[in-house]
A and B are shown apart, each in its own frame.
Chain A
Amino acid sequence: MNILEQKAKRKETLMDILPFAGLVLITVFFIIVTKGRILRIDNLANIVTSAFTIILVSCGAVFVYAHGGMDFSIGSTSGLAQFICIYMVMRLGFPLPIGILASVVVSVVACSTVGLSSILLNIHPFVASLCVKNITAGLLSLLTQKVGGQITLDYVRFKGFNSVGLKAVVLIVMIALGFYVFEKTKVGKIQKAISGNERTVTQAGINVKKYKLSAYMIMGFCVGIAAFFQMTRIGTVSSSSGSGLEFDIMIAMVLGGFPISGGSAAKFKQFILGGITMTILTNGLTMWGMDVSFVSFVKGLMFILIVSVSYDRSVMKQVSIIKL
């Protein structure tokens, strides 16, 4: 290996380590300020439960962001999926698997709408997803108004779905599946290639539109499953259900060092790492007991600090969010 190759290898290793370093740093920081309470078994179980939704959705979102897409409607889509599921199960008496299937179908349709708008209609996914967000949020609000504002789940009946054991198993399966599909199969590799140079990929004979759409559908599937577990965790569905999830995903992506433009530097583990980092950040700041006025301020500062240190600028290309 010549000097340049050695330097590149060292840099790649450093970029791989930095997000981990960020995670270790904030964990150590919170162990100190919470006097070790963050490491209690109960709290570790909380961390797994809290990180569950973000990581589960990330398993699908990674495909979309890897090809340079994005979706700002995930939150309201999740809320709508939760409503459909809980309504079918609690009010219409459908069996649970049908409710879960409905949740997945709704999510896949909504995410595919964003995908199709950007693929077929040439609308930038950021803009298309804002439009779909309006539609799904409006629909959720309309439907919840019809049922008096919210629907409550029979919490005891579905308590088993909140168990840490089940969530850990589901997570492991989804992470393993997601990792395999993203890193080892052509579905994932093509997503990265699309971001690198879409024209080249097209000329190589690959149906780019098909793979882009499949990314959105995979994400929709993950959102649908996550919506079900969110519903069982919170126990009620109202017009604000799912709100903010899209920001959580973006924050997880950033904290894990995932390049916003996607491409070859995109790695599956980055999203997972980011999800865990974000969960520990929220958990730690709450347990720290800091004055509520400062919590968001410190969160923002920490976020910028972690990003300043760990973001890989070498793969950053001019990202045009809006191309009209």
Chain B
Amino acid sequence: MKKIIVVMLIALIALTPVFAKGDNKKSSKATDVRTYEKTKIAVVYSTFTDLLGSQFKGSLESLSTYFNVEFVFVETGFNTEEAMAKTDAMFQMDLDGVIFVTPNVANLDAASKKKIPLIALNEPVDEETANQLEGYSNYLGGVVNDDYAVGCSAAEALYNAGCKNICISYLTPGLSKNHQDRYEGFKAVLANHPDMNVLSEYSSRAQWPAAVNTFAAAFPEMDGLFSTAFSEPGYTAIRKNGLIGKIKLATVDISESTPDYLDNGVICSIAGGQYNKIMLAFAALYNYIYDGTRILDSLGGYCYTPFLQITSSKDYKVYEKYVASGTGLWVYTPEVIESLIMGKNPDMTPEKFAKFAKSYSVAQVMSLRTSN
């Protein structure tokens, strides 16, 4: 029996590559691949299983046929040692570029040894890292969201909604600069409103429902909740604790229950849809791969793109159709991305690139889709 199990295991391992090809179901129509040379780009993120990660993966895969790019997705997890081992191994794969969500200096150093250009999706975690990254010529900068601004607007929204007793739920510091910036932006605005009182803060590894449950139990006077991110379990916890109609929620990340909680008045501010930034990062990276253009250099190294804000379930339907790949389409089509490549579009300039990124909105996505 043991031998049978061993043979079955060997067979399973041997057969896995047959099923393990990347999923390109959502790629656009094939184009003449002779237009673009075959390139290989690695994408590094902690996990591609969450909503953001899966959107990142899907939107890039939609570009692979058009640009003749083989994407290699490297999931680093939260084991720091294994993450380094995986990224070191990844740099041995004859890559033409890397999109790294939050690179550290060690990653840049390893990439520079192989002369692989690297672009980020976040600003450096601190000043020390930023100073060190400047020394690497293969670092192309980053396409980033203004998380700090989102935190600020969340605080203003709660204030304008008349909330006085606030609870804050945020990701454990050190795990994500995005969440840290949102938290800091929120606290900065809070300091300007002394009549807003912070009852409690709860940092965790994305335990949003646990935070809601505890706040609901211990702080019946809570009338406002800020969470640096939110998801379905959090909404279930709000409903379970009878908080609908009692609190206002300001948060980031749009999900399936968002329209319901917009309609019932719980959500006073929600931002999300940050799926475009990886496509813009690809465009910036591909500018370099195509003809060495460092499109972000004259922008100070970083290009900012806003979150989408939705305010009603009607907004959500449009958002879902055009942004959240509800109809199998991704934020930008390959043609739109191609128009951002200076080598392909002589009219494109770094300033226009930045302007395009900054004007990200549902309306922009709709108009681009219609014109295509």
Contacts of B125 in A (CB 8 A): 149-150, 152, 236
Instruction: Kindly report which residue of chain B lies nearest to residue A308, judged by CB atoms.
Output: B6
Residues of A within 8 Å of B, CB-based: how many? 60
Q: How many A-B residue pairs have CB under 8 A?
A: 162
Q: A236 CA to B81 CA in the complex, in Å?
A: 12
The answer to whether the Cβ of B104 comes within 8 Å of any Cβ in the partner chain is yes
Residues of A within 8 A of B129 (CB): 152, 236
List chain A residues, Cβ under 8 A from B74: 286, 292
Instruction: Report how far A284 CA is from B93 CA in the complex, Å.
Output: 11
* CB atoms of B89 and A144 under 8 A apart: no
The number of chain B residues touching the other chain, given as a range, is 35 or more
Q: How far is the CB of B343 from chain A (nearest CB, A)?
A: 27
B67-122 interface (Cβ within 8 A of A): 72-75, 77-82, 84-86, 88-90, 92-94, 104-106, 109, 113-114
Verify if B172 is at the interface (C-beta below 8 Å from A): yes
| Docked complex Cα distance between A282 and B82 (Å) | 8
In the bound complex, what is the Cα–Cα distance between A302 and B6 (angstroms)? 10
Q: Is the interface of A mostly helix, strand, loop or mixed?
A: helix
- How far apart are A290's CB and chain B's nearest CB, in angstroms? 5
Chain B minimum-CB-distance residue to A53: B81
Per-position 1/0 for A135-163, Cβ under 8 A of B: 00000010011001110111110010010
- Give residues 1-29 of B contacting A (CB, 8 Å): 2, 5-6, 9-10, 12-13, 16-17, 19-23
Contact A155 B73 (CB under 8 A): no
Residues of A within 8 A of B84 (CB): 50, 233-234
How far apart are A271's CB and chain B's nearest CB, in angstroms? 16
A43 within 8 A of B: yes
C-alpha spacing A131/B185, complex, angstroms: 36
Q: Measured between alpha carbons, how far is A248 from B82 in the docked complex, in Å?
A: 9
Are B93 and A308 in touch, CB under 8 angstroms? no
**Which residues does chain B contribute within 8 Å of A242, judged by CB atoms?**
80-81
Do residues B174 and A40 form an inter-chain contact, with CB atoms below 8 A?
A: no
Nearest-neighbour CB distance to chain A for B218, whole angstroms, equals 20
User: Which stretch of A117-125, A184-192, A203-211, A293-301 is in the interface?
Assistant: A293-301
**Contact assessment for B75 and A149 in the assembled complex, using a CB-CB cutoff below 8 Å:** no
Residue from B6, B57, B89, B132 having most chain A Cβ neighbours under 10 A: B89
Beta-carbon contact of B104 and A234 below 8 Å: yes
Q: Which one, B57, B72, B85, contacts A289 given CB within 8 A?
A: B72
Q: How far, in angstroms, from A233 to B105 measured CA to CA in the complex?
A: 10
Whether a CB of chain A sits under 8 angstroms from the CB of B128 is yes
Q: Is A167 an interface residue (CB 8 A)?
A: no
- Name A244's closest neighbour in chain B (CB-CB): B79
Query: Is A46 a contact partner of B92 (Cβ separation < 8 A)?
Result: yes
Residue of A nearest to B105 (CB): A155
Selected contact of A291 from candidates B21, B77, B92, B135, CB within 8 Å? B21
Complexed CA–CA distance, A238 and B172 (Å) = 10
Is the beta-carbon distance between A286 and B22 smaller than 8 angstroms?
no
Interface residues of B in 201-221 (CB under 8 A from A): 203
Report the minimal beta-carbon distance from B98 to chain A, rounded to whole angstroms. 13
19 pairs, A vs B, C-beta closer than 8 Å? A46-B88, A50-B84, A50-B89, A148-B126, A148-B173, A149-B174, A152-B104, A154-B132, A155-B109, A234-B104, A236-B104, A240-B78, A243-B78, A244-B81, A282-B85, A286-B86, A286-B90, A287-B89, A305-B6
> 17 new A-B pairs (CB below 8 Å) besides A236-B129, A240-B175?
A43-B89, A144-B174, A145-B172, A145-B173, A150-B173, A154-B128, A156-B132, A234-B81, A239-B175, A240-B78, A243-B79, A245-B81, A248-B81, A279-B85, A282-B85, A283-B85, A297-B16
